[in-house]
Amino acid sequence: MTQVQFSPESWSRGGQAYLEEAAALRSAVSSHLASLDVNALGSGNGGHPIDITLAVVVPVVKDAFLEACENLAANLEAVGTLMNDTGAAYAAVEAGAAADAGQSTTL
């Protein structure tokens, strides 16, 4: 059975990974959806009832998906920031404990 060990560095690495994933998500969604519109689907002339349906539905679904992805990216960033903050606080506690241990005397 593997034991998990935490360190300030592991918290910081994990936090950075979350921040990078948030940026990657935003970039991927933006690049893939940039060209998605009714004209790209060949339905921009409204000549068929399905064209009209797509003209109404595609923008709404695209906006909802973009909003959901932005919320996910914001949550990933929040977790990453909190993990980085935890790592910094953990490092400060360890440094304080080491300083206290260095000043201890035996009775």
Domain that holds residue 64: 9-91
**Number of domains comprising the chain:** 1
pLDDT in tens, 57-76: 989 999 999 999 999 999 99
Residue 17 lies in a domain: yes
pLDDT in tens, 5-62: 778 999 999 999 999 999 999 999 999 988 888 877 777 777 788 888 888 898 999 9
Residue 3 lies in a domain: no
Distance CA(69)–CA(30), nearest Å, equals: 10
Residue 102 lies in a domain: no
Is the pLDDT at 101 greater than 70? The verdict is: yes
Residue 2 lies in a domain: no
Residue 40 lies in a domain: yes
Residue in 77, 68, 92 with CA at minimum distance from that of residue 19: 77
Distance CA(33)–CA(28), nearest Å, equals: 8
Classify residue 89 by its DSSP letter.
H
Residue in 15, 16, 19 with CA at minimum distance from that of residue 83: 15
Residue 103 lies in a domain: no
pLDDT in tens, 2-13: 776 778 999 999
Residue 36 lies in a domain: yes
For residue 39, the model assigns a pLDDT of: 79
